[in-house]
Amino acid sequence: MTADIITTGVDPRFSGLPGRPGKIVAVHLSYASRADQRGRRPAAPSYFFKPSSSVAASGGTIERPGGTELLAFEGEIALVIGTAARRVPLADAWDHVAWVTAANDFGLYDLRANDKGSNVRSKGGDGFTPVGPELVDARTVDPAALRLRTWVNGELRQDDTSAGLIFPLAQFVADLSQHFTLEPGDVILTGTPAGSSVVVPGDVVEVEVDAPDAPGAPTSGRLLTTVTQGEHGFDDAVGSLPAVDDHQRAEAWGSRAAAGLEPEPEPFRLSAELREKLGRAPVAGLSAQLRKRGLDNVSIDGVRPMHPGAKVVGTARTLRFVPNREDLFKSHGGGYNAQKRAFDAVGEGEVIVIEARGETGSGTLGDILALRAHARGAAGIVTDGGVRDHDAVAAVGIPVYSNGAHPAVLGRRHVPWDTDVAVACGGATVQPGDVLVGDRDGVVVIPPALVEEVVDATLAQEDEDAWIAEQVTAGHPVDGLFPMNAEWRARYEAWRASR
């Protein structure tokens, strides 16, 4: 491998690199430990750019801007490209890496929500990408045996290796080279493991990348950055202001507990026994019992089963579409949108419930998303909109309730907007975690607190109705029997006692 980088040797910010990088490409989520912490694991790498003006040398400082609270460190392995890479195969990709070193991908979570994944402002500030201090020759190390450690005020906070990556380091080079030329001096920040958290003014952060099993145990040395308090905030006349909520606090600190927040309540989960009972209980019977308890608006109207013989039992995972508006579809319809996130996140035994406002003039899912839900172990899909690729979706086998088939794509009528919120589906309100049961009669929504009471009452009523049916079949008139008067009630109780 020949590195054809021309070094500038002028600006001290780039002293940990061969020169000023033309591109800095960072990976969103790459370590299994971090993915497990976040509760989501990507199927393929995704990326964002950082400006070269964000690079800083070891021993420097980073300012936490005025009016902000959530500046977080992320120790990372940085790859420095040595020779141009364009459409290189995975087997040859590592040959285009000249050096590895340490990096710290600082992020300001106060600005994260408004950046919507681009991270332009939340991670692009001056000094937000310390790199160095020393370069390790990539030819002397095994890319699967690099160690990454981060300390805050001398306390070890991150300790992982490249073996813990979901994707091998060379894959980032091969993947990115499919889309554009990686040029000599470009830097790839390869993601951070679990342990990233918030730092405050006065904290000292150190990151080191080494290869302890390689000859000579080469190391980047410790990349040192001190956090300071900035005097300047942000002007709302030219852009959005920092904003934080408990979700961002938990993400920045690494957990709700680390952020000093109360733990979220445990989501309701159906036990195997309850799931089995609900599988035996007819929707009509469940609906009747809910009505006795004052709940009349719990039926998802207008939806029909794609597989009439299949029963649906599960807890709700929700997805909401809003009416199509061209500018909103442009900002929310592409990329890793809410629809894709919902189908990637659905868990085993959950039912994806889609609010489509009863709009039948467009599909709300197709065969690929049905396959994804099926692979994730979802119990079913309920949408008050249409289904594309109807026959292909039916062939997947996952139970689907919908308003019928329609060939149009999502953008004709809908914008995928958000997930895991209360939705209106078929005239019924469905909250995440509500219990859904569907059969040929339709779909009913059961509040979790009532599930056990309602299903037991339904099954008891089913036994009673079956006994009444036997009496009618034997020739008894329904008067006094359905509903039962005192005499017939006594006979029924005696029958039950004898069983």
Question: Is 424 strand, coil or helix?
Answer: strand
Q: Which helix (H) or strand (E) holds 322?
A: strand 312-323
Average pLDDT (17-45) is: 90
Binning pLDDT at 50, 70 and 90, where does residue 265 land?
confident
pLDDT bin (cut points 50, 70, 90) of residue 112 is confident
Q: How far apart are CA 96 and CA 399, in angstroms?
A: 48
pLDDT reading at 328 higher than 70: yes
Q: Which pLDDT band holds residue 158 (cuts at 50, 70, 90)?
A: very high
Question: How is residue 313 written in tokens?
Answer: 């039992």
Is the per-residue pLDDT at 15 higher than 50?
Answer: yes
Helix 451-473 to helix 272-280 angle (10° resolution) is 30
> How does residue 244 score in pLDDT terms, banded at 50, 70 and 90?
confident
**How much of the chain is helix, strand and coil, in % rounded to 5?**
30, 25, 45
Angle between the N-to-C axes of helices 451-473 and 283-292, in degrees from 0 to 180, rounded to the nearest 10:
120
3-state secondary structure of 416: strand
What does the pLDDT read at residue 8?
A: 44
4 pLDDT exceeds 70?
A: no
366 labeled binding residue: yes
Above 50 in pLDDT, residue 77? Answer: yes
Task: Place 267 in a pLDDT band, splitting at 50, 70 and 90.
Answer: confident
Q: Where are the alpha helices (DSSP H) in 136-191?
A: 169-177
Q: What is the dihedral of CA 161, 166, 172, 176, to 10 degrees?
A: -160
Per residue in 182-205, pLDDT tens? 999 999 999 999 999 999 999 999
At 464, is the secondary structure helix, strand, or coil?
helix
Is residue 389 marked as binding? yes
pLDDT band at 114 (very low <50, low <70, confident <90, very high): confident
Is a pLDDT exceeding 70 seen at residue 7?
A: no
Per DSSP, the three-state class of 294 is coil
Q: What percent of the chain has pLDDT over 90?
A: 79
Residue 238 has pLDDT above 90, yes or no: no
34 a known binding residue?
A: no
Residue 247 has pLDDT above 80, yes or no: yes
- Measuring CA to CA, which residue among 328, 335, 344, 307 is closest to residue 438? 307
At residue 126, the pLDDT reads 95
| Predicted confidence (pLDDT) at residue 303 exceeds the cutoff of 90 | yes
pLDDT recorded at residue 498: 86
Average pLDDT over all residues of the chain: 92
Confidence of residue 9 (pLDDT cuts 50, 70, 90): very low
Choice between 188 and 249, residue whose per-residue pLDDT is larger: 188
pLDDT, position 10: 67
384 is known to lie in a ligand binding site: no
Angle at 167 between CA 373 and CA 36, to 5 degrees: 60
Q: Which of 346, 431, 416, 340 has the alpha carbon at shortest distance from 380?
A: 346
Q: Does the annotation flag 368 for ligand binding?
A: yes
What is the DSSP track for 404-429? -B----GGGTEEEEEESS-EEETTEE
What are the tens digits of pLDDT across the range 62-76?
999 999 999 999 999
- Find how far residue 361's CA is from the centre of its chain: 28
Supply the pTM of this predicted model.
Answer: 0.59
For residues 290-312, give the mean pLDDT. Answer: 94
* Crossing angle for the helix pair 338-345 and 367-375, to the nearest 10 degrees: 30
| Per-residue pLDDT band at 429 (split at 50, 70, 90) | very high
Report the range of poorest mean pLDDT among 26-40, 301-315, 448-462.
26-40
Residue 245: predicted pLDDT: 87
pLDDT of residue 5 exceeding 70: no
- Provide mean pLDDT across the span 123-143: 96
User: pLDDT-derived band of residue 2, with 50, 70 and 90 as boundaries?
Assistant: very low
Q: Which of these ranges, 13-17, 21-25, 109-113, has the smallest mean pLDDT?
A: 109-113
Give the tens place of pLDDT for each residue, 334-344: 888 999 999 99
Task: State residue 262's pLDDT score.
Answer: 87
The answer to whether 195 is a known ligand-binding residue is no
pLDDT above 50: residue 213: yes
